[in-house]
Chain A
Amino acid sequence: MKQNNTPLLQVKDLRVEYLTAGDPFAAVQDVSFDILQNEVLGLAGESGCGKSTIAYALMRLHKPPALIRSGDIRFEGRSILTFDAERLRAWRWSEVSMVFQSAMNSLNPVMSILGQFSDMLKAHGKISRDEIIARTAEMLKMVGIPAERMHAYPHQLSGGMRQRVALALALTLRPKLIVMDEPTTALDVVVQREILQEVLRLREELGFSVLFITHDLALMAQISDRIGIMKGGEIVEIGTTEQIVTNPQQDYTRALWSAMPVLEQPKEAGANVR
C-alpha cells in the first residue's frame, strides 16, 4: 500500500463529555491517535467504551448533550474544531463521510434511494439527472444491489440492503476518510467479505483512509492495518494488526480475544479462501 507518512487525521488529547444532570460523564478521555493516508485503522472495544462517541466527534456530528471538552482534531493539518458551519457542510461527505451504526435506519424513509443519491450529489456540485442516475446505478451495483432497485423506498429493502445503500452513499463522493461504525452488522458473511474487498480495491484505486469500528474482532483483524483497543473511554493499546493479534501487550486485549466465539473452519468447502 502506498502509505505516505503525513497523518491524514490527527486526534490529540480528545475529551468528549456528556452533560448529565449530575457531573458530566467523560465518554472519551484524552484520547490521541493518528490515521495515516490510505490506512485502515480499526477501533475495537466492548459496548459503551466510547467508539461511536469518537466517530461522531471526528465529523463534528456529535449533538448535545455531547460536548468536545478539550483536545484537537486535525484533518490535513487544519483543526476542524475551527470550521464554521458552511465549511463543515462542504467538508462532510466530500472529504469525510460516515456510515453510521444502525445505518439501516439512517436513510430518509420517505425518499426513494435515487432521491437520496440525488440530494447528496446535487449538494456537492452541478450534475444532470442522467448523470445522477448513472452514478446511482454504478454505486448500487458496487454493493451488489440491482440498479433497478434505485426506485425503491427504504422500507422496501431488506436490512442488509439498506446498510449497503448507506455504504454506497458514503463512498459516492470519493472522500479522503470514511468513518465506518459497525458498517456490516446486517450483512451475511459472503456479502460482507465481497463489499469489504471492494472497499479495499477502491482504496488502492482512489486512495482513502478508513476508521473501521466493529465488535467483530476477527473481521477487524482481516481488514485493518493497525488496531486500537479501547476501554472505558481510553485507548489502552494501539499497534499493527499483526502485533495486536499475535502479541497483545495488555491483559484486556487478550481477554477480548478469548471472549470471541470461534467456528472450526471446514476446509472441504472448496471456496477459494486463501
Chain B
Amino acid sequence: MLDDHVDILRLEKITKTFHIKPVFGPAKTVEALRNVNLSLKPGKALALVGESGSGKSTVGRMIVQHYEATSGRILFEGSDIADIADRASQMKYRQAVQMVFQDPFSSLNPAHTIRHHLQRALRLHQPDHSGDADVCRILDEVGLDPKTTPDKYPHELSGGQRQRVNFARALAVNARLIVADEPTSMLDVSIRKSVLALMQRLKAERGLSILYITHDIATAEYLAEDTAVMFRGQVVEQGPTSDVVGAPKHSYTQLLRAAVPDPRQRLLAGDSGFSSHAKDVREASAHLVTGMIEQAPGHFTAQQ
C-alpha cells in the first residue's frame, strides 16, 4: 500500500505479554496487548482512550522502544522499527519520536535550568542550532516567555509551563511524532485548554503527528481526527473521532461516553444499576476479538 499516504506509524498485530514473578508462588503473565492494529497519518492526531490498565501506555512505550513487542510489527514511515540496525539510524528514530508524560515534573531534572534542558536537546540533535537564540525561538514557539524562562528551574514553573517545556524539548530534537501520555490530566481546566491548544498548533503549523493518550474524551474531540478505544489489551472501536465519540457503536465506548461526569446528576451510594451494567459490558467486551465490522466508512467496531 505504498501510495503517497504512507502512515507515519502503523502497529500491526502487536502483542505484549509481561511476566511477573512474585516472591512467593508461581509466575503470572499479564497480556497487556492482544493483536493491536493502529495507524496514524502524518500531521494528524490519533486519540487513544479506554479503560485504566487497558494497555494505552504500553502502546506508547513500545513506540518509543521502552519495551519490545512480544509479537507483531511497528512500522515507522513504512519500515519496521525492529529492523533498525546501526546506531545512527537508531539515533534518528529516537529523535523523530518523542514521548511526553502525564507528570510534567518527572522528565525534567530539578537541578538544571530550562536553558540547560533545551540546549542539551538541541546539541544532541541539531548541533549548529544550539545557541541562546535557538532556545528563545523554541520557547516562543510553545508560548513561554523567552526572556525569563531560560534561567528558571523546573520547580519555579507551573505544571502547565513545565508541560510546555516538555513539548519544547520535543521540538528541539525536531520530533515528527509525539506520543503524549495523558499530558494534561494533572493540569486544571484553564491550563489544560492552553496545552491542548499548543498541541493543536504544533500539529497544524509544524505538521507534527500526535498519539494522544487520554481519559478525557471531550479533549479527544478537540484535538484528534481519529480515535481508538482500548479495552483489556484490545482495540474495540476505532475511526473518525466524530463517529467514535459522537455516535459510539461498541458497548464499551457507549459506557465510557455515558459515564462522563454530568454536574446535574448526583452519584448515589446505592446506584448498583451503573456498576452492574458496567460489569455486563466488561464481560461482553473481554473476549478475544475475532474481527472488526465496518459501521461507516473508516469506522470499525469489534465483533461482539
Q: Which residues in A have some Cβ–Cβ distance to B below 8 Å?
A: 46-48, 101-102, 104-105, 112, 148, 151-152, 156-161, 164, 182, 185-194, 196-197, 200-201, 203-204, 215-219, 221-223, 241, 245, 256, 259-263, 265-266, 268-274
Contact = CB atoms under 8 A, between A and B. Distances in A.
A192 B261 CA distance: 9
B218 A245 contact: no
Contact of A105 (B103, B160, B187): B103
B192 to A, nearest CB: 8
Interface in B229-287: 245-248, 251, 254-271, 273-275, 277-278
Given A112-B23, A151-B22, A189-B256, A47 B191 contact: yes
A129 B265 CA distance: 42
B142 to A, nearest CB: 18
Contact of B255 (A152, A158, A159, A269): A269
Interface stretch (B50-58, B87-95, B166-174): B50-58
B186 A102 contact: yes
A95 to B, nearest CB: 22
B215 A189 contact: yes
B254 A221 contact: no
A267 to B, nearest CB: 9
B39 interface: no
A193 B278 CA distance: 10
| Most A-side CB within 10 Å, residue of B189, B247, B255, B256 | B189
B290 to A, nearest CB: 23
Interface residues of B, number: 63
A102 B263 contact: no
B154 interface: no
4 closest Cβ pairs, A-B complex: A160-B52, A151-B22, A215-B188, A271-B258
Given A151-B24, A191-B51, A266-B247, 13 more contacts: A47-B160, A156-B18, A186-B215, A189-B215, A190-B278, A197-B267, A197-B268, A269-B257, A270-B251, A270-B258, A271-B258, A272-B273, A273-B274
A241 B264 CA distance: 10
Contact of B254 (A152, A260, A270): A270
B20 interface: yes
B148 interface: no
B228 to A, nearest CB: 14
A4 B191 CA distance: 39
